[in-house]
A and B are shown apart, each in its own frame.
Chain A
């Protein structure tokens, strides 16, 4: 197998957390509020359930084949050619998600902090950094995630705590003003983000305690979901739905708005810090997943020969296939969910049903 490393359940938790969290927190609260108004925190309650469902589906499937990645067991379940097709879809998923993540990462920095620096600089920097990490293997990436996970939690709690003086929970009323429909509708862009726990299908065989796998995946989904709900409640209670829906990235504005006795001010630097490492972690994870799954599909002994070509693609494609930030946002709001959720949710469901019918298990 191209990867010999082992990871602990704690590391898997962090990996799965960062597989979803960074880009979704930046993008989703604003997008959901646009549709659901003051009910958008309920959107994330729904999405939490969706995330837990997705995580439990993925891990149930992975547990059937604890020694194999999805690329390896798909042909066993679906037959050689269909299996290869499924493996190809999986690679397409990791690859496409990564294109979006890389561009989002760079766009965020350029639009909020460093407007005079070219986008290419951040794309280049993030991909180069992740190339090095992918080169070093899964264990290194897992340890980086493990270290930065508590730090991220700390920053979030810090921002919640210092937003308390500006909180006005009345702004969350009235509940279900236009019925539950807008809330359901506004989960649409989030469907993809909250099914990105899909990577567990690739990481599961490297877990040193496979028995803990499912619990860990569910835990990760719960963490991600609850933090989104809390963030959105805080954002809404500070800014109200009218302003929140107008912000590019409401969470950043929340951090910027913090002011405590004129001493604790402008905490956006904290958000920027978390964004930079969390963004790079997500890029690295999807880079790694693309490389590993491609190597397994091609039957290579090591994924190392694939790293540099992939890095070149990851630098150039995000620069050229996206033209502008409104285009990127529209794609994320309308197109990515129908394109990629069938792979991240539909495919595992299909595999699980097929494996159950054929009573396959390892």
Chain B
């Protein structure tokens, strides 16, 4: 009896030795950044930064002063196919491994493809269980994907890390909108709103953020500059920040920093005509002056608050005008109306594409300055 039991136990071991879906590190390739763009002959080109785990393990991947130039922590792999999935599987031919998407942090969309519409290509990135909705979505502006992915990395061992770190500091920068797959798909799939994505470009062989890509549903239709991106973020961004350069009436330059802003978009229906007010209340900090006027004098202080509000209004207005010009409802005005007044929305939604560009949008900003650093008066020569 005991012997039989032992045999059964041993026999069981054969079936307990592992997992059917196991993937060993040396059988797969981890992709960290994926770029897709159009290739000739109606094909898609998929370019990926494939992580070299060996390099990531070395003590200082980005540091060191080796004479032969530092070793990269990734390789680039490119494949073409009629669809993203086919291109992905074609990578096997080149790499000898299957690409594993669990650790993909960023998807870069080529400009050509983005203008054509990206919905058909996003399906696979959401449908496959490996993929994550947190994956960042960026658009290559005036740059080829291959060049972007081969760009010189400055501090971090790979591009994904650089992009993620930049997003970590997006409040300080104030000019970066972080958009992940979930946000893009959600806005794309909702009537009365259009998505955006961060734009990246190549500058002196380095990848850099360059404003915001504006989509009309899934088609790229234009760009917001840094100036407009800031305005856009004031109105709809999560925890906006960034610096605001303005001046005293006599022209002396001052720099303020936005520390908090809360915005509300309010629709108003008047005789079947809809208009919107964007109300923003902001808080800021006095950061820098180039002149001799003392900001801590209360008259000056409130003057600066007005200047800050005026500058922010200007920026938000610029973003609104650009978006309306492009016919892309990136502020989600339609959806705001839908939530507030579903009946009115029902009558307008059929023609929203025509109504939206002409809709009146007012911008009202109130700003409060709270701190001014450890100087009471500016340092000036006498």
A151 in contact (CB, < 8 A): no
B129 at the interface (CB under 8 A from A): yes
A116 / chain B contacts, CB cutoff of 8 Å: 20-21
Q: Does B189 contact A (CB under 8 A)?
A: yes
Chain A residues closer than 8 Å to B20, beta-carbon distance: 114, 116-118, 121
List B contacts of A177 (CB < 8 A): 342
B117-172 interface (Cβ within 8 A of A): 129, 132-134, 164
Partner of A113, one of B129, B132, B189, B338: B129
* B342 adjacent to A174 (CB under 8 Å): yes
Contact of B186 among A121, A173, A239, A259 (CB under 8 A): A239
Q: Which residues of B contact A117 (CB under 8 A)?
A: 20-21
Chain B residues near A262 (CB-CB < 8 A): 164
How does the 8 Å CB contact mask read for B49-92 relative to A, with 1 for contact and 0 for none?
00000000000000000000000000000000000000000000
Q: Are B182 and A246 in contact (CB under 8 A)?
A: no
Q: How many of chain A's residues have a CB under 8 angstroms from any CB in B?
A: 25
Any B CB within 8 A of the CB of A257: yes
Tell me the bound Cα distance from A246 to B126 in angstroms: 11
Q: Within 8 Å CB of A240, what residues of B?
A: 186, 189-190
Instruction: Find the B residue at minimum CB distance from A241.
Output: B190
Against A, the Cβ 8 Å flags (1 = close, 0 = not) of B336-354 are 0011101000000000000
Cβ contact within 8 Å between A115 and B21:
yes
Contact B189 A242 (CB under 8 A): yes
Interface pair A243/B342, CB less than 8 Å apart = no
B residues 174-195 touching A (CB-CB < 8 Å)? 182, 185-186, 189-190
Instruction: Choose one: A115, A174, A265; the contact of B339 (CB below 8 Å).
Output: A174
In the assembled complex, the Cα of A121 lies from the Cα of B15 at a distance in Å of 11
Contact B129 A257 (CB under 8 A): no
Contacts of A253 in B (CB 8 A): 133
Does B133 contact A170, Cβ atoms closer than 8 Å? no
Bound Cα distance from A239 to B184, whole angstroms:
11
State how many angstroms separate the Cβ of A120 from the closest Cβ of chain B.
11
Q: Which residue of A lies closest to B21 (CB)?
A: A114
> Judging by beta carbons under 8 Å apart, are B21 and A243 in contact?
no
- Docked CA distance A215–B19 (Å): 44
How many angstroms between the C-alpha atoms of A240 and B184 in the bound complex?
12
Q: Do the beta carbons of B129 and A239 come within 8 Å of each other?
A: no
Which residues of B have CB within 8 Å of A239?
Answer: 182, 186
Partner of A174 from B21, B164, B338 at Cβ < 8 Å: B338
**Which residues of the other chain, A, contact B342 by a CB distance below 8 angstroms?**
174, 177
- Asked if A243 and B185 make an inter-chain contact with CB atoms under 8 angstroms apart, the answer reads yes
Tell me if A208 is interfacial: C-beta within 8 Å of chain B: no
For the complex, is A304 an interface residue (Cβ under 8 Å from B)?
no
For residue B134, which residue of chain A has the nearest CB? Answer: A259
Provide the residues of chain A in CB contact with B129, threshold 8 Å.
Answer: 111-113, 115
How many angstroms from the CA of A203 to the CA of B235 in the assembled complex? 58
A261 to B189, CA, bound (A): 28
CA distance A240 to B187 in the complex (A): 9
Type the 1/0 row for B185-213, where 1 means its CB is closer than 8 Å to any CB of A.
11001100000000000000000000000
Is A256 positioned at the interface, with any CB of B under 8 Å from its CB? yes
Taken together as a complex, chains A and B put the C-alpha atoms of A243 and B193 apart, in Å, by: 14
With a cutoff of 8 Å between Cβ atoms, the chain A residues found around residue B132 in the complex are 256-257, 266
CB distance from B254 to the nearest CB of A (A): 34
A118–B186 CA distance with the chains assembled, in angstroms: 33
Q: How far is the CB of A256 from chain B (nearest CB, A)?
A: 6
Contacts of B182 in A (CB 8 A): 239, 243, 257
Chain A residues in 8 Å Cβ range of B185:
243
Most buried by B among A116, A240, A246, A265: A240
Q: Given A112-B129, A242-B190, A257-B182, are A173 and B134 also a contact pair (CB < 8 Å)?
A: no
Q: Is B338 a contact partner of A246 (Cβ separation < 8 A)?
A: no
Cα A118 to Cα B21 in complex, Å, equals: 10
Chain B residues 19 to 33 lying within 8 A of chain A, measured CB to CB, are 19-21
Which single residue of chain B is at the shortest CB-CB distance from A121? B20
Residue of chain B at shortest CB distance from A118:
B20
- Whole-angstrom distance between the Cβ of B191 and the nearest chain A Cβ: 8
Min CB gap A324→B, angstroms: 16
Q: Which residues of A contact B338 (CB under 8 A)?
A: 174
The residue on A at minimum CB distance from B168 is A262
Note all chain A residues with C-beta closer than 8 A to B189: 240, 242-243, 246
A114-B20, A114-B21, A116-B21 are contacts. A170–B186 as well, Cβ < 8 Å?
Answer: no
- The distance from the CB of A241 to the nearest CB of chain B, in whole angstroms, is 8
The 0/1 profile, CB within 8 Å of B marked 1, for residues 300-339 of chain A is 0000000000000000000000000000000000000000
- Rounded to whole angstroms, the CA-CA distance of A118 and B20 in the bound complex is 9
Cβ A173 vs Cβ B21 within 8 A: no
Closest-CB distance, A118 to chain B (whole angstroms): 8
Cα-based distance from A189 to B160 in the complex (angstroms): 43
Q: Which residues of A in the span 261-295 have a Cβ within 8 Å of any Cβ on B?
A: 262, 265-266
Q: Would you call A170 and B339 a contact (CB within 8 A)? A: yes
Minimum distance in angstroms from A111 CB to a CB of chain B: 7
Q: Complex: how many Å from CA A143 to CA B145?
A: 58
What is the CA–CA distance of A18 and B338 in the complex, to the nearest angstrom? Answer: 39
**Roughly how many angstroms separate A112 CA and B186 CA in the complex, as a whole number?**
21
Q: Mark A174-214, 1 if CB is under 8 A from B, else 0.
A: 10010000000000000000000000000000000000000
Q: Are A242 and B186 in contact (CB under 8 A)?
A: yes
Complex interface: chain A residues within 8 A of B190 (CB): 240, 242
A246 CA to B132 CA, complexed, in Å = 15
Q: How far is the CA of A242 from the CA of B133 in the complex (A)?
A: 15
CA gap between A266 and B103 in the complex, in Å: 11
Chain B residue, CB-CB nearest to A116:
B21
Residues of B near A170 (CB, < 8 A) are 339
* Distance (whole angstroms) from the CB of A96 to the closest CB of chain B: 29
- Please, how many angstroms separate the alpha-carbon atoms of A170 and B335 in the complex? 10
- For residue A243, which residue of chain B has the nearest CB? B186
Report chain B residues within 8 Å CB of A112: 129
7 contacts between A and B (CB under 8 A): A112-B129, A113-B129, A116-B20, A239-B182, A256-B132, A257-B132, A257-B182
Which chain A residues have a beta carbon within 8 Å of chain B's beta carbons?
111-118, 121, 170, 173-174, 177, 239-240, 242-243, 246, 253, 256-257, 259, 262, 265-266
A sample of 9 more A-B contacts (CB under 8 A), given A242-B186, A257-B182, is A113-B21, A173-B340, A174-B340, A239-B182, A240-B186, A243-B185, A246-B189, A259-B134, A266-B132
Listed from nearest, the 3 A-B pairs whose CB atoms lie closest are A242-B189, A117-B20, A173-B339
